[in-house]
Amino acid sequence: MDKLVIEGGVALRGDVHVGTAKNSVLPILAATLLTSEPCRIVDAPRLRDVNTMLRILPALGVQCERDADGSITTRVVDESISEAPYELVKTMRASVCVLGPLIGRRRRARVSFPGGCVFGPRPIDLHLKGLRALGVELDIESGYIVAHAERLRGASMYLGGAFGPTVTGTANVLMAAVLAEGVTHIHMAACEPEVQDLANFLVAMGADVRGIGTPVLEIHGVDELHGATYRPVPDRIEAGTFLAAAAITGGDVTVRSCRPEHLRAVLERLEAAGCRLEIGEDWVRCARRGRIRAADITTLPYPGFPTDLQAQFMTLLTLADGVSVVTEKVYPERFMHVAELARMRARIRKEHHIAIVEGTEFLSGAPVLASDLRASAALVMAGLVAEGETEVRRVYHIDRGYEQIEVKLAALGARIRRTEDDEGV
């Protein structure tokens, strides 16, 4: 098992290119189950989660090949299989996205409940509610979702939950509905760029999806889908992470190959924290001089501030001049990083779904444990600016969503290296 060792104190400078959005690629790969024709996903990132999906799909009768340029070509060779086993699904929540296309194309599915990052319960009741509205019969057996439907009929449904729309739930119902009879309306649909990306891929395959990017999706069912070649959008979370890293180190970094329009809430909070921004068509430059300013952050469904950047921005605010309040309204228990940041001298008090961050003059390097994907990125950020050495263990979490993060950071001047963790934590 690896760990990242970081010597803090270097201001990051230079250009960095972000990769393709993991949270787009995963459901798009699942959607290739909806056709017997080949599909090609251009420039798919080499990430642990993508590799997991490339193990799940062959178990469902899909032949997958990765080209030297990173593109992935899929082709369904056996439609008799409908079970996604626990051994493959347990490590990644996004694997539940195979449920919708299996029902849509094969009319049956047996999918293990998903795993992934541990930061509180993330139920799939809205997924099941939407599928039932389409005429799917569902049961839970031995930890598996068992589903079948002789026919899928379009329906009108509301998929809002206690904490807003469901991203993967919207994706699952959307993928089932594209081959249903009649018209489906998904009210309170998730509007995230990754959901839009999935919908645009389905359109490229011949689906009839309207209202993309709005809270109401209208899906007119079609008889068949065909293959397609598609390039998913850039990863806005990776872009936001590098911008926050530039800010916390007092550096000057230009993040390229991104979509600034996907980062509006993030850019506004960076400016509130005292950063100077320049914004181009596909790039953002972030620089900071002087002390970080205190700034409150509230996570919300898109176009609000993304929950996947909450940990990184909380880390930024640990060095702010004053007190900041971070309110988590998407996953209220997503504060696993607080205890580890405290080991580095951060002053954070958690109250239910709110964290009160009192800025400190400096952070101190320490050995820390990554608990989930985004928390691990936050701890790396803390290590970049901390006095002394920081060891971030369990970096397999960060490998799920950041491709060679230590290489990209080193190119910006960071003193960071990957090494084997002798303690095997």
Sheet with 347-351, edge to edge strand ranges:
297-299, 323-328, 354-358, 347-351
Sheet holding 62-66, edge to edge: 62-66, 72-76, 39-41, 229-230
Number of residues that make up the chain: 425
In sequence order, the β-bridge partners of residue 161 are 164
Tokens 């972030």, located at residue: 286
Which of 346, 315, 347 minimizes the C-alpha distance to 246?
Answer: 315
Query: Which tokens is 40 given?
Result: 């090609």
Helix, strand or coil, per DSSP, at residue 261: helix
Which candidate in 39, 64, 97, 117 is catalytic?
A: 117
How many angstroms separate the CA atoms of 46 and 154, rounded?
37
Active-site residue, 286 included: no
Please state, in angstroms and rounded to a whole number, the distance separating the CA atoms of residues 103 and 265. Answer: 36
> Can you spell out the DSSP letters for 139-181?
EEETTEEEEE-S--B--EEE-EETTEE-HHHHHHHHHHHTTSB
What are the C-alpha distances in Å from 71 to residues 62, 233, 238, 242? 16, 14, 19, 24
Angstrom CA distances, 164 to 116, 191, 235, 319, 421, stand at 20, 11, 22, 31, 40
CA distance 172 to 217: 13
CA distances from residue 272 to 313, 324, 420 in whole angstroms, order as listed: 12, 11, 39
Q: Please say whether the beta carbons of 136 and 390 come within 8 A.
A: no
CB 395, CB 376: distance < 8 Å:
yes
Closest CA to 56 of 100, 104, 23, 96: 96
Q: CA-to-CA distance for 195 and 130, rounded, in angstroms? A: 16
State the catalytic residues. Answer: 117
